[in-house]
Amino acid sequence: MIETRQITKRYGDLTAVDRICFRVEPGQVLGFLGPNGAGKSTTMKMLAGFLAPTSGGATVAGFDVETQPLEAKRALGYLPEGAPSYGEMNVREFLEFIADVRELKGDLRYKRLDDAIERLHLDRVLEQPIDTLSKGFRRRVGLAGAILHDPKVLILDEPTDGLDPNQKQEVRTLINSMARDKTIIISTHLLEEVHAVCDRAIIIAAGRILADATPAELEARSRYHQAVSLTAANLQEAKDALARVADIAAIEVDPQDNRITAFPKPGRSIFVAVGDALKAQGVTVRELALEPGRLDEVFRTITQGAVGKEART
Ligand SMILES: Nc1ncnc2c1ncn2[C@@H]1O[C@H](COP(=O)(O)OP(=O)(O)OP(=O)(O)O)[C@@H](O)[C@H]1O
């Protein structure tokens, strides 16, 4: 479990993290979302014990990160931003070094090393200096280091940054496979990642929590939630048919691809009525979809006011 209590970090007169409180239980993957400079990395560094909070605090697996740092760090795997340190080491040396730091010995040591190397597909690059690896491989080496001791808690700062689409998918599958018995926090700029791996998302901006909800709850805040989108052979015929549906509040047409989106009146459901109206008017429809809501639009709406505003005290 991870719990923060009013955790705060100030740099001079800039409040990078402002009294953040949350709790993540085992089995949960929490996505940390926010624009650049929101305070995501700073929060993660404080949880990982790399940075002391200015005020407030946190526990990791029940251990206070300031007063029980060794116990907290033992329970924790941390992937920092960017590349792993010790770039002059080759991958094998780096992982052996982490295994030493984690005091892994005997059969367990070999089992954990083999497991991390296999999960992150590092066998081809074991003898290569980390500095000479591609960004994607460096990220995977960092991840292998973070999971090596099979920690109960994982804090992963942009785990898929720099990976190609196939590698992103592999890392998301890895996170999902570890999620059952671990407490995991990931930060990301990628909203599709929230869908793919997170069962809860916290949106922060200017150091403050602006939303804490499941991806579905966030989508439900979108103005696209329960809207119906469609493309039709004849745009005007489709618009005429939709004009007959009483519960439609507004219709928008995307000039790029002529996709029509029909927005329901508050609390109304229009999917069946739209289908019936199009059929009754003999409109040839290519695609018809009920929109769950758009996370990117929700993210923009929630963070808009906060972006650019620095939290100065
Ligand atoms: N060592 C430091 N000294 C002064 N200010 C800092 C320091 N580290 C971070 N900051 C500032 O704190 C704020 C939060 O930074 P942080 O790196 O936590 O944001 P972030 O949400 O992780 O951003 P990104 O998505 O760009 O990684 C930013 O305004 C940043 O400039």
Of residues 299, 292, 226, 286, the one with CA closest to residue 262: 226
CATH 3.30.70.100 fits 228-291, yes or no: yes
Ligand 1 geometric centre to CA of 209 (Å): 15
In this prediction, residue 83 carries a pLDDT of 66
- C-alpha 183/C-alpha 171 separation (Å) is 16
Ligand 1 geometric centre to CA of 307 (Å): 13
In this prediction, residue 197 carries a pLDDT of 94
Q: Residue 125 is encoded by which pair of tokens?
A: 């690059």
In this prediction, residue 189 carries a pLDDT of 85
Question: Which residue ranges make up each domain of the chain?
Answer: 2-220, 228-291
Q: Report the b/e string of 198-213 with b at 16+ CB within 10 A.
A: bebbbbbbbbbbbbee
Q: Kindly give the confidence (pLDDT) of every residue in the chain, 313 residues in length, as a single tens digit, with 9 standing for 90 and above.
A: 999 999 999 999 999 999 999 999 999 999 999 999 999 999 999 999 999 999 999 999 999 999 999 999 999 999 998 766 787 899 999 999 999 999 999 999 999 999 999 999 999 999 999 999 988 889 999 999 999 999 999 999 999 988 889 889 988 999 998 998 899 999 998 888 998 899 999 999 999 999 999 999 999 999 999 999 999 999 999 999 999 999 999 999 999 999 999 999 998 999 999 999 999 999 999 999 999 999 989 999 999 865 444 444 3
Residue with tokens 């800039």: 14
Query: What is the CB < 6 Å shell around ligand 1?
Result: 11, 14, 16, 34, 36-42
Taking the CA of residue 44 as reference, the ligand 1 atom at the shortest distance is 18
Taking the CA of residue 17 as reference, the ligand 1 atom at the shortest distance is 14
Q: Which of 7, 18, 42 to mutate to test the pocket of ligand 1 (most atoms within 8 A of CB)?
A: 42
Same fold, 2-220 and 228-291: no
Q: Residues 6 or more apart from 221 whose CB is under 8 A from it?
A: 293, 298, 301, 302
Q: Which CATH class is domain 2-220?
A: alpha beta
- ipTM higher than threshold 0.95: yes
Ligand 1 geometric centre to CA of 16 (Å): 6
Taking the CA of residue 38 as reference, the ligand 1 atom at the shortest distance is 21
- C-alpha 214/C-alpha 129 separation (Å) is 41
Specify the residue with its C-alpha closest to ligand 1, atom 28: 37
Ligand 1 geometric centre to CA of 226 (Å): 37
Of residues 227, 228, 252, 243, the one with CA closest to residue 281: 243
Global pTM value: 0.88
In this prediction, residue 305 carries a pLDDT of 66
Ligand 1 geometric centre to CA of 269 (Å): 43
